[in-house]
């Protein structure tokens, strides 16, 4: 048997469109080595119980500082700051994630994340991820 290569080897797919049970989040014209573009291209910030509350929303605020004098900061700024710091391993990543989700520190477990980095991928892959 021979392998088929090229465009003729792939079926023609129907056009992407949102339905009641399917959400399109990126444009369909994805190309290698190019970051996929969001769809729709303009972010629609809906802050209610029927939508995911995005951390990049201007309405997403998080208390920082001591409990008796905490102030609110944009959560996205906290995410960017935490994930921009150098990390060596999954424990550093856990600490960064919990820094902007402190109320979940006693609820969230990161065993699967740590297992992935210690048991599933190689040391080189882990080092490359945290570079």
Residue 6: the pLDDT is 65
Using CA atoms, how far residue 26 sits from 36, 55, 127, in Å, is 6, 18, 29
| Mean pLDDT value across residues 105-116 | 95
Instruction: Please give the pLDDT value at position 12.
Output: 74
Neighbours of 79 (CB within 10 A): 19
Q: What is the band of 118 on the pLDDT scale with cuts at 50, 70, 90?
A: very high
pLDDT band at 85 (very low <50, low <70, confident <90, very high): very high
Between 38 and 90, residue with greater pLDDT: 90
Q: How wide is the angle at C-alpha 97 spanned by C-alphas 93 and 102, nearest 5°?
A: 135
36-45, 54-63, 76-85: segment of lowest average pLDDT: 36-45
User: Residue 58 and residue 20: Cα distance in Å, rounded?
Assistant: 27
**Residue 81: predicted pLDDT:** 95
Read off the tokens for 125: 């892959």
Q: What is the DSSP string of 27-54?
A: -S---TTSPPPBSSSS-----STTS---
Q: Using an 8 Å Cβ cutoff, are 112 and 94 in contact? A: no
Query: Quick check: 96 pLDDT over 90?
Result: yes
| Mean pLDDT in residue range 42-48 | 84
Q: Give me Rg for the CA atoms of the chain.
A: 20
Of 131 and 70, more confident: 131
């Amino acid at each position: 048997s021979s392998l088929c290569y090229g465009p003729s080897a792939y079926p023609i797919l129907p056009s992407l469109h949102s339905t009641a049970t399917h959400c399109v989040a990126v444009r369909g014209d994805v190309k290698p080595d190019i970051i996929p573009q969001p769809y729709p291209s303009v972010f629609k910030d809906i802050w209610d119980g029927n939508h995911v509350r995005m951390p990049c929303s201007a309405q997403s605020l998080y208390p920082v500082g001591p409990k008796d004098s905490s102030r609110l900061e944009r959560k996205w700024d906290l995410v960017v700051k935490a994930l921009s710091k150098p990390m060596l391993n999954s424990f550093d990543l856990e600490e960064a994630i919990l820094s902007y989700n402190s109320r979940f520190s006693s609820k969230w477990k990161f065993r699967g994340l740590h297992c992935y980095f210690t048991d599933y991928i190689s040391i080189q892959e882990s080092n490359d991820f945290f570079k």
